Structures are given as C-alpha cells and as structure tokens.
Amino acid sequence: MDFEVWPEAIELGEMFAEEGYELALVGGPVRDLLLHRRSHDLDFCTSARPEQFEPILRRWGHDGFWDMGRKFGTLGAMRRRPDGTEVQVEITTYRSDEYDPDSRKPEVSYGDSLEGDLSRRDFTVNAMALRVPDLEFVDPFGGANDLSKRVLRTPVDPRQSFDDDPLRMMRAVRFVAQLGFGIEPETAEAICTMADRLGIVSAERVRDELVKLLLSDRPRAGIEAFVDSGLADVVFPEIPALQLEIDEHHRHKDVFEHTMIVIDRAVALETGPDGPVPAPDLTLRLAALMHDIGKPKTRRFEAGGKVSFHHHDAVGAKMTRKRLKALRFDHHVVDDVSELVNLHLRFHGYVDEPWTDAAVRRYVKDAGPLYERLNRLTRADATTQNRRKALVFKTAMDEMEERVRALKEQEDFNAIRPDLNGNEIMQELGLEPGPQVGAAYRHMLDYRLDNGPVGREEALAELHRWYDAQQQ
C-alpha cells in the first residue's frame, strides 16, 4: 500500500530502531492517511517503556516536551518546522486498558505486541498501524475494509470492548458526527443494551466527547445517534425528553425534530474566521440544542386542541444551567448558554409590533456580548413552513438589525451608563450609600435607555422628579 508519510514519523522510527525498540504510527493519523486527510498531531505506540524512550523523545522534540500522561504510559513532544507549523507527537507503550466495575478511571497494564495493543482500541478504523521506519501496514481486524464501507465496528466483541471502557460508546456517536460513518448492527445493539454502563465514566470525559461531537461537521447526525442509542438517557436526559407524544387532538411541532432543524440552521448561520460568530461555535450550538428543553415541563393542553409552553424559556434556562454544571462545563459557557436560552423568545414581540428605539437599546444591552449569537439562534428557531410568516419574520429581523447598526453609529451600546453616576446622585440628593442610591441609579439607567443621551440639566430634573415621587 502506498503512503505519503510524515518525515517526522520516519525520523522517529529510525531513532527508536537504533535503540532496538519498535515504533508504529497508530489510530487516527493512519485512518486519516487512508482518507487523504492530513494532521499535525501524530500518535504512536512502542515496545519501549516511558523511561526507556523519554531520552529519545526529548532529543527529537526540542521545541516542547510533556509527560502529563506518564501514569498511562504516554509522553509527548513538539517540533516546529522551518515554515513555522508545529508537529505534535504522543507516544504510548503497548498497553491494555480495563475498567473496574465500580471505577471511573481505566487501569493500565503494559502489553508486549503491536497486535495486542491494536486489539484494545475502540474501533477497527482506529486499529490500524504503520510500522516506522519500514512502512509496514498492519491491519489485523479489517479496518481498511470497514473504512471503505464507512462503518464503525469494534476489533473484539463489542460487549467486551465497551465493558473495558464505556466511553467508547460515546466515541461511536462522536465518530458518526465527525466522519459520517454508520454503526455496525452488532456494535449498535451492544451500545443500546450497555448504555447504563456509561454512568461510571466521569462527567469531564463525557463532556469532552460531547464537545467534539457538537463541533463536528455533522452535529445533528451525532445527536440523533446519541439519542437513538440510549446514551443520552443516561447523561443528558433532557434531550430525549424532547420527543413528546403528539396525539390527534392536541397538535404541536415535534420538539425533538424541530431542535435538530434548529441545530442545522444555527450551524449554517455561523461565520468565517473574521465574522462575529466564527465556525464552529460551541456556545451557539449548545444553545440551539437546549433552547427548548423547558417545553416538556411547561406543556399544557388548551381548549380547541392547542398546546402551550408558557415560560419554557425561563424554565429551560434553569434546566440548562443545572445540566451544563453537572457535565462540568466552564462557568462562562454555562452562563452564556443559559442566557441565550433565557432570551431566545425575546425578539418575537418585535414581529407583531416594531419596537421603539428604547426597546431596541434594551434588547442589545440585555444581550450584551451574546447579541450576534442571540440573533442567529432566533433566526435558526424560526422554522415555520408558512412562507408568508417566514418572510415577515426575516424582514422584521433584518429591519431590527439595521436599526441597531444605525443606533450604534450614534452611541456605544456597550458603554451605556446613566447620565449621572452614583457619586453625582448622592451629592445631588444628599444621600449616603445605600439602597436608595441603587434604586435611583437603576431609574436613571432606564431613563437613559428610554430616551437616549440627554443633557445634564434634563437628567438632574428627571432625578429630582423621580426622587420627589418616592417621598410621597
């Protein structure tokens, strides 16, 4: 088989061979070679123990070295090419991972052969290797054939594989999203029957797989596989809960199907690297996934066959915060996604009756740095098949955005403050710091949002008018 292999891989292979050790390129880089995709991150496995190959790797990786994975038999290094690009490598001793039934972390034991190491990998398409420097292709489990068929299958019995490392089930649905592959029936059946086993895996590891899925080219396909497999019931039950039953008397959109469409539309609305929401955007994609998770809790059957979901935005925001915290997302992601869910219906009132300039200012001020994402989420959420309604909505959103651009030319929304600051309010009213000053400040901020910039004299007059009214 003809390969165009990284020169760095050949060089490392020669360095290991000189010391009497085996070295092979494994996993994703080999798979990507066959898919004609290139990567600057290379994974290897070796017959040498970490303490034996560390000196070799340090000599090769003169621009960086790390050993955070030492307890798992893994060391890494980095080298810069003359053109400035970086090549990162990680090398792991032949190994075998197993899970204790009650443990959240794999137990590592070293192996003694490449074929044995490949047998413990997640899927056959990742269980191929290329020995270096001789370029011998090793494929004991038919990975190249599965790759051509675009199918995911485990090298050994799937029940054994998923019992050894349950996170492999999450990797399966992630690869559906990343590679566009299907899951082989026996492997899919094992995932469905063993989904509960995912519960022993740490939230952080599950989160990392979910993030990779969402940032892929096909997040919808991955989420659908995540739900169909039963894995979502274990770690993200709010998503399958969107599959609400619909009867002949009470009709509403299929909320899960609607959510999948919103994800597709949100991805399409992301921008290039120089745009306001560069693709792929995790915050926008999470918000698209979670924007309606409050609907199951708020569904009410109304007269005439209608169904309502009053306050599902506020309820969904609380549910979003709770779930993302449980999955150990960074606090800023939790805050931003929850706020987008909370605000995702805010624009709809504009469609019925265009806002005043004050209302437009409030919308932008409340959205803050999420303004561009919020507009894209709102557009993505407008999935009506009624062409007239769709056109009315788009026209209203275009108009509102144009008004925002015009207002921003007059004033900096991010810097909107009352015309009087707290010290000026205290001095003018003769107040000491306390709740009254805060109430006065909030009123003057509201006045500023309602009226735009006003002069100092007008602001002082409004302050005294408000304060006098409070004393009555």
Q: For residues 268 and 409, state if they share a domain.
A: yes
pLDDT band at 246 (very low <50, low <70, confident <90, very high): low
Residue type, 370: L
The pLDDT confidence band at residue 414, using thresholds 50, 70 and 90, is: low
Lowest mean pLDDT among 10-19, 269-278, 408-417: 408-417
| Mean pLDDT value across residues 166-191 | 96
Distance separating alpha carbons of residues 28 and 339, to the nearest angstrom: 37
Which of the residue ranges 99-103, 199-203, 305-309, 467-471 has the most confident prediction, judged by mean pLDDT?
199-203
Percent of the chain, pLDDT > 70?
93
**Stretch 197-217: mean pLDDT, rounded?**
96
Which of 142, 159, 178 delimits the end of a domain? 142
pLDDT, position 438: 82
Per-residue pLDDT, 252? 53
Quick one: 409 and 441 in the same domain? Answer: no
Of the listed ranges 54-63, 95-104, 150-159, 326-335, the one predicted with least confidence: 95-104
Same domain, 134 and 231: no
The reported pLDDT for the residue numbered 40 is 73
> Which of 29-38, 70-79, 127-136 shows the lowest per-residue confidence on average (mean pLDDT)?
29-38
- Would you say residue 252 lies in a domain? no
287 and 376: one domain?
yes
Task: Quote the domain boundaries for residue 459.
Answer: 422-471
Q: Which two tokens stand for residue 457?
A: 């004299």
Average pLDDT over residues 352-379: 89
Q: How confident is the model at residue 290 (pLDDT cuts 50, 70, 90)?
A: very high
pLDDT digits (tens, 9 = 90+) for 400-412: 999 998 887 776 6
Per the omega criterion (within 30 degrees of 0), is the bond before 276 cis? no
**Which residue type sits at 190?**
A
Q: Is residue 251 part of a domain?
A: no
| Same domain membership, residue 315 and residue 282 | yes
| pLDDT in the model for residue 283 | 98
User: What burial class does residue 430 get, using C-beta atoms within 10 Å of its C-beta: 0-12 exposed, 13-18 middle, 19+ buried?
Assistant: exposed
| Amino acid 432: pLDDT | 83
Instruction: Give the pLDDT band of residue 209 (cuts 50, 70, 90).
Output: very high
* Burial degree of 148 (CB within 10 A; 0-12, 13-18, 19+): exposed
Q: Span 308-326, mean pLDDT?
A: 95
Confidence of residue 105 (pLDDT cuts 50, 70, 90): low
Structure-block tokens of residue 8: 């760095």
What number of CA atoms fall less than 13 Å from residue 119's CA on the CB side?
11
Average pLDDT over residues 288-310: 89
- CATH number where 41 lies: 3.30.460.10
Final residue belonging to a domain, choices 216, 236, 256: 236
Are residues 126 and 193 both part of a single domain? no
Q: How far apart are alpha carbons 288 and 389 in whole angstroms? A: 21
Asked if the model's pLDDT at residue 217 lies above 60, the reply is yes
pLDDT tier, 421 (very low <50, low <70, confident <90, very high otherwise):
confident
Alpha helices, H only, 248-386? 255-268, 282-290, 295-298, 312-326, 331-343, 348-352, 357-367, 371-381
Tell how far CA 79 is from the center of its chain: 29
254 part of a folded domain: no
Residue 346 and residue 363 in one domain: yes
What average pLDDT is seen over the chain? 89
pLDDT at 107 (0 to 100): 60
Residue 430 located in a structural domain: yes
Q: Are residues 281 and 366 in the same domain?
A: yes
Q: Would you state the structure tokens that stand for residue 192, as one six-digit string? A: 């469905």
- Over residues 372-384, the mean pLDDT reads 95
- Strands 65-66, 74-80: pairing is antiparallel
Secondary structure (3-state) at 5: coil
**pLDDT at residue 16 greater than cutoff 90:** yes
Which whole number is the average pLDDT over 293-319? 90
* Weakest mean pLDDT among 115-119, 228-232, 362-366: 362-366
pLDDT of residue 407: 82
Given 91, 123, 142, the domain boundary residue is 142
444, 462 Cβ separation under 8 angstroms = yes
At residue 250, the pLDDT reads 45
User: In whole angstroms, what is the distance from residue 22 CA to residue 28 CA?
Assistant: 19
pLDDT of 448 > 70? The answer is yes
- Residue 250 maps to a domain: no
Tally of domains in the chain: 4
Report pLDDT for 21: 96
Q: What angle do CA 271, 210, 276 make, to 5 degrees?
A: 15
CATH value at residue 201: 1.10.110.30
Q: What is the rounded distance in angstroms from the CA atom of residue 3 to the CA atom of residue 130?
A: 9
Q: At what angle do helices 357-367 and 435-451 cross, to 10 degrees?
A: 120
DSSP 88-136: EEEEEESEEEE--TT-SS-EEEE-S-HHHHHHTSS-GGGS-EEETTTTE
Tell me the mean pLDDT in the region 41-61: 95
Mapped onto helix, strand or coil, the DSSP state of residue 144 is helix
Q: Is residue 63 located within the same domain as residue 166?
A: no
Residue 189 placed within a domain: yes
Quick check: is 163 in a domain? yes
Mean of the pLDDT values across residues 192-199? Answer: 96
> Are 386 and 363 contacting, i.e. CB atoms less than 8 angstroms apart?
no
**d(Cα 247, Cα 305) in Å, to the nearest integer?**
10
Helix axes 185-194, 167-179, angle to 10 degrees: 130
Q: Give the Cα separation of 271 and 259 in Å (integer).
A: 21
Contact between 348 and 262 under an 8 Å Cβ cutoff? The reply is: no
Half-sphere CA count of 233, side-chain side, radius 13 A? 11
Asked whether residue 340 falls in the same domain as residue 459, the answer is no
Which residue's entry shows tokens 């800023």?
A: 332
Token representation of residue 373? 């994402």
For 386-393, what is the mean pLDDT?
91
Cα(37)–Cα(71) distance, integer angstroms: 31
Q: Which amino acid is at 174?
A: R
188 and 229 fall within a common domain: yes
Nearest to 391 by CA among 376, 401, 379, 373: 379
For residue 108, pLDDT over 90 is answered with no
Q: Please report whether residue 243 resides in a domain.
A: no
pTM for the model stands at: 0.83
Task: Check pLDDT > 90 for residue 48.
Answer: yes
Residue 162 pLDDT exceeds 90 = yes
Do 125 and 183 have their domain in common?
no
